Every structure is written in structure tokens, then in C-alpha cells.
Amino acid sequence: MDTLPCFTQDQIFTVGDAAAMAEELVSNSYKMSASQWLWNRYDVMTLSDLEPGEIVEGPFAQIVRYRGQKSETSLGSSSYDFYKICLMDHTILKALESGKELRLFPFALYILCHELIHIVRFSKFLQSFQASHEEKMAEENRVHEKTREIFKSVRVPGMEALLSFYKAWENPLDSTTNAPPL
């Protein structure tokens, strides 16, 4: 199997900056205080930190859900959902090289806002993690709409090219529509 390209150290710093801004944007949008925010309920990982089963072809990222439980407790009632945002460096890098004038910071910002919105919606029981294909497609439309809403107030270089790239998600999709990866 060929080795998939991973982010450089500088690119990881850029993704980290995008993650910090995405957390602020999403928490502000959902009017969540620091105590309500999901700090210990998710993590963002890049390709070099992923297990083989967490790597997928196609999407820019995926969310994997795990069950967490504090080590000092034995009751199942103390368990919680822990989400891992798995960034697919290889797919993101391929899109950046596609000539569509995408820049890493706004691209990572969009991807991370999108995935954090999913996690907030799962955590608030606005959407089930286990859903039918049709419901997952409807949820993608809702999350892209919310992401676009958040991005109306965001001004960073490269945003126009990014929003143009995701224009296909502005209209409701069905499973046969040819939209960009998630």
C-alpha cells in the first residue's frame, strides 16, 4: 500500500489555528459558554495519528464516536460519547492542489466548523449519530447551511474560493447529486 501524504509541521500549525477559531465560531453560534463547550468530548486528529480503520477515501474528514468512561468509575451510567474528528490530510492536500485556489486555513476552518456543528447537534440530541442514509444526507444539508450561516461574518483571505467550492451544497441534495466531499 502506498504511503498517503500527511500535513507538514507548518500545515499542522495552520490546522491548529483553524481548529481554535472553529471552536470559537461554533460555540458563539450555539451560544455555548465555556462550561457548556465540549472541550473533553472530542479531539481533532490528522492522518499521522489515525488508526487504519479511521482512514477513509473521499471525505475530507469523518467523525468517529467512541464510548468514554472515567477510569475510577465502574457504572455504565457514567459513560459518555467521545468524538474523534479524523482529518484526511491526503484528501485535503489533493483538493488544495486541484487548482481551485483553495487555501489551507479557510478550508480547514470550514471543515472543522462543519464537523464541530455535527458534534454539537449529536450532543444536543438534534441528530442521531446512527441514522439512515437519507437522514444523513438531510443532516449534511442542514450542517452545510449552518456552516454557511456562521461564515457570513467570517473574513479571512481565501474565503471566496472556498465558498465557491462548496456552492453545490447550497441546494438540497439527494444521494445521486454530485457534490464535493464532506
Residue entry with cell 453560534 = 29
* pLDDT attached to residue 175: 45
What value does the mean pLDDT of the chain take?
83
Q: What is the pLDDT of residues 84-101, one digit of tens each?
A: 999 999 999 999 998 778
* pLDDT attached to residue 13: 97
HEC assignment per residue over the chain: CCCCCCCCHHHHHHHHHHHHHHHHHHHHHCCCCCCCCCCCCEEEECHHHCCHHHCCCCCCEEEEEEEECCCCCCCHHHCEEEEEEEECHHHHHHHHCCCCCCCHHHHHHHHHHHHHHHHHHHHCCCCCCCCCHHHHHHHHHHHHHHHHHHHCCCCCCCHHHHHHHCHHHHCCCCCCCCCCCC
* pLDDT attached to residue 178: 47
Q: Give every residue of the chain whose pLDDT is below 50, as ranges.
A: 1, 174-178
